[in-house]
Structure 1
Amino acid sequence: MPARRNSSDLRRLARRIFPGANPLRRRTDYFELIALLAVVLIAVIAVALAISTAQAELRGRLIEVDREQAGKHQVVATVLAEVDSASTTHRTVAVRWGQPPDEHFAVVNLPPRAPATNTVPVWLDQQGQLTAPPLTRGEATQAAGLAGAGVLIGAVLVTVVGLTGARLWVARRRLAAWAAEWERVGPQWRNHAS
């Protein structure tokens, strides 16, 4: 008995999706089938585009990671003093690195919860100037994931807006068709009711 019920459920689902030769079908009933096929097609294209975008972004970011890591190096600087700062988003400290006569001084910002130690790591470019830390592989992967997710979210939004607009259009067409049909049939029903 369960096999017969499953097959009747499948037939009912197929009749609902594919209007077929139902004598009561309206021309607008084909919209559901076309909309379903369009949504499936858009979903497949969006997933492929998101994967492609994420891979391209990852390749570009990994090249940037390699370039930055080759062009920057880390040194350990000695903290000389903490500089007064009105900011609560970072701590400002004066640091020194290198030995005389090649000694360098700078003021750097540390995270507010950075441990209070005598040394801090700083990043230098090839000219020996302070620079931001190089991009990491984790940050590159995160940027690629965000790019792919952005494509998917954009595709979902466009699909939902398009499908909603199309359904509203079809609903208006159905209502207009029903109103026109009632204008034609209504007077006949009124005559039978009396």
Structure 2
Amino acid sequence: MSGIRWWRLPHVGGNPLVRTADRVESGLLLVVVALALLAVPVAASLGSDSYGRQKLTAEAESATRQPATAVLLSDAPAETVGPHGVPVSTTVAVPASWRVAGGGRSGMVTAPRGTPAGTIVPIWLDTRGTPTAPPAPPEAAVMTGIATGVLTWTAFAAGLAMVFGALRRLLDRGRYARWEREWARLDHRSYS
């Protein structure tokens, strides 16, 4: 018997052994599956929008930030270890100097712990020549878009599954109560 015919036979047809609760449960399952499938393009659209926003942010950052190099003016503090032997942090702020179009500048830059004075470290500068974080890579926009779409659909599908599970429990309670009544009535008849 094919899967489609198996589905129609007990749940949609006129089989007198199929209870109303079974038909309702089958209908609910169809609705849940249809809603989950309809949510795929919505989640894809949200992921696409997220990708577009992140891509624009990455492009704006790339246009306003430029790579440069800085020379450390003092030694970076040595590596410190926490109580379990794990390094507390691998980088630290260190005084440094760097060149910009209008001359030299100095300030704090991030460098690996234990780096000696005079070491050249790569930095990123904003339009004012101040150290800043590097621009977001283009791959981050792709990953953010994919994660947004997948997590949106997963959350929606999980919500649908929980609603279906709760409704199924209610239907099960009704079925069990009906079985109890039928058994009680059958048991009562056998002793009469």
Same fold (TM over 0.5): yes
Q: Are residue 167 (structure 1) and residue 184 (structure 2) matched?
A: no
User: TM-score of the superposition, structure 2-length normalised?
Assistant: 0.81
Cα 1:182–1:83, aligned 2, differ >3 Å: closer, same or farther?
same
Cα 1:146–1:180, aligned 2, differ >3 Å: closer, same or farther?
same
How many residue pairs get aligned? The number is: 182
Cα 1:23–1:99, aligned 2, differ >3 Å: closer, same or farther?
closer
From 24, 33, 51, give the equivalent of 1:31: 24
The 1-side partners of 2:54 and 2:148 are apart by 12
Aligned partner of 1:43 in structure 2 is 36
CA shift digits 1:56-91 (9 cap, x unpaired)? 001111111111111111112123333326573232
Deviation of 1:27 after TM superposition, in Å, equals 0.8
Matched to 2:27, the amino acid is: I
The 1-side partners of 2:138 and 2:113 are apart by 25
Aligned partner of 1:4 in structure 2 is none
Q: Secondary structure at the match of 1:97?
A: strand
Question: Unaligned regions of 5+ residues in structure 1, if any?
Answer: 1-7
Judge which range, 83-92 or 162-171, deviates more: 83-92
Matched to 1:15, the amino acid is: L
Q: Are residue 68 (structure 1) and residue 61 (structure 2) matched?
A: yes
Cα 1:100–1:27, aligned 2, differ >3 Å: closer, same or farther?
closer
Matched to 1:122, the amino acid is: I
Aligned partner of 2:6 in structure 1 is 12
Identity of aligned residues (%): 25
Aligned partner of 2:90 in structure 1 is 90
Deviation of 1:132 after TM superposition, in Å, equals 0.9
Kept after mapping to 2: 8 A contact 1:96/1:104: yes
Question: Unaligned regions of 5+ residues in structure 2, if any?
Answer: 81-86
Deviation of 1:111 after TM superposition, in Å, equals 5.3
Aligned partner of 1:129 in structure 2 is 130
The 1-side partners of 2:72 and 2:89 are apart by 19
Superposed CA RMSD in Å reads 2.7
Aligned partner of 1:108 in structure 2 is 109
Q: Which has the higher helix share?
A: 1
Cα 1:184–1:99, aligned 2, differ >3 Å: closer, same or farther?
closer
User: TM-score of the superposition, structure 1-length normalised?
Assistant: 0.81
Aligned partner of 2:177 in structure 1 is 176
Q: Secondary structure at the match of 2:75?
A: strand
Q: Secondary structure at the match of 1:104?
A: strand
Cα 1:110–1:51, aligned 2, differ >3 Å: closer, same or farther?
farther
Cα 1:152–1:104, aligned 2, differ >3 Å: closer, same or farther?
same
Q: Secondary structure at the match of 1:44?
A: helix
